[in-house]
Amino acid sequence: MAAPPVLRSRPFPDVLVVGEALVDLVHRADGSIDESPGGSPANVALALGRLARHPRLLTSLGDDRRGQTVRRWLEASDVVLEGRPAARTSTAIARLDGQGAASYEFAIDWQIEVAGVGVADALHLGSIAATLEPGASAVAELLERHRGRALISYDPNIRPSLIDDPESVRRRVLSLIERADVIKASDEDAAWLHPGVAVDEVARRWSRSGPGLVVVTLGSEGCLAFANGFEVTVPSLTVDVVDTVGAGDTFMAALIDGLLSEGALGTHAREALASLDERRLTALLGRSATAAAVTVSRPGADPPTRDELEVGAEILVG
């Protein structure tokens, strides 16, 4: 991967995604095994690329066969890859049950250099990269560099199988939550971070701690959000589920895309978040849920393009 470019005037917002890109080894319920590109932040970048946002992905990939596959997959959706090559490309073993839900085992190599990375209009951080050293400290440095100067979104996407020191990871994750502008987490993340606390109370706590928008996805029950002193709930859409791989990442990307369209970028990010009312936020969340529904209706992390999302909204909602 090439060194980070010097930022210049662009005809669209500069969106920087930071985190792991890897290869998923998917063991399906019928006994078949698929090998495909993935990684939560990479999935977010891919979905943003298909939504015509031309994102950059700062990551760590090997120069091996799997790394080449991941590069081609991302670049085909207009994702610009940045970062130094790794010794090998990371992998995740995903095991799907009869309902398409996935459990994971990981072999991750994660480290990045951020010294030459400029400030973007929007910064998304996620998952393993934000908690696994030696790269996690660099991720935290990037967040601090962007505070007050960009829309900062964060998805904890907790992977318990990779965590040796739960309390240390909880402290790190909660610190990132407090300093980000937008949080998207699952009900499973909330339960791991705050055992025994109701999901809505967790979301309220996070909202009070600093973020302008907190969204918690609830699987088949939809999602809830807290912003500007009000709460919004949005139901999920009924579709035939092939698998859930990449669904939450697609939801995250569609939410970022919608917020950018609302003007939440650069130094105006917080101001735009503060202007959101219930009607507009409900529409943003509904569109994000539609994007996720399209993704779960087909195998693997295969998010919709902007045109497919509009068609999907008409079919699933209208």
Task: Judge whether residue 255 has pLDDT over 90.
Answer: yes
Closest CA to 157 of 115, 205, 197, 102: 102
Q: Is 39 helix (H, G, I), strand (E, B) or coil?
A: coil
Asked if the bond preceding 11 is cis, omega within 30° of 0, the reply is no
**Across 206-228, average pLDDT:** 95
Q: Are strands 223-227 and 102-107 parallel, antiparallel or unpaired?
A: unpaired
**pLDDT score, position 78:** 97
Topology of domain 15-316, CATH: UDP-N-acetylmuramoyl-L-alanine:D-glutamate ligase (3.40.1190)
Task: Judge whether residue 179 has pLDDT over 90.
Answer: yes
Tell me if 47 sits within 8 A of 250, measured CB to CB.
yes
Q: What angle do CA 70, 76, 80 make, to 5 degrees?
A: 75
What does residue 274 show for φ and ψ, rounded to 5 degrees? -65, -20
pTM summary value: 0.91
**Across 116-138, average pLDDT:** 94
Torsion of CA 300, 243, 124, 86, to 10 degrees: -40
Task: Judge whether residue 2 has pLDDT over 50.
Answer: no
Task: Judge whether residue 184 has pLDDT over 50.
Answer: yes
Tell me if 93 sits within 8 A of 27, measured CB to CB.
yes
Give the percent of the chain with pLDDT over 70.
94
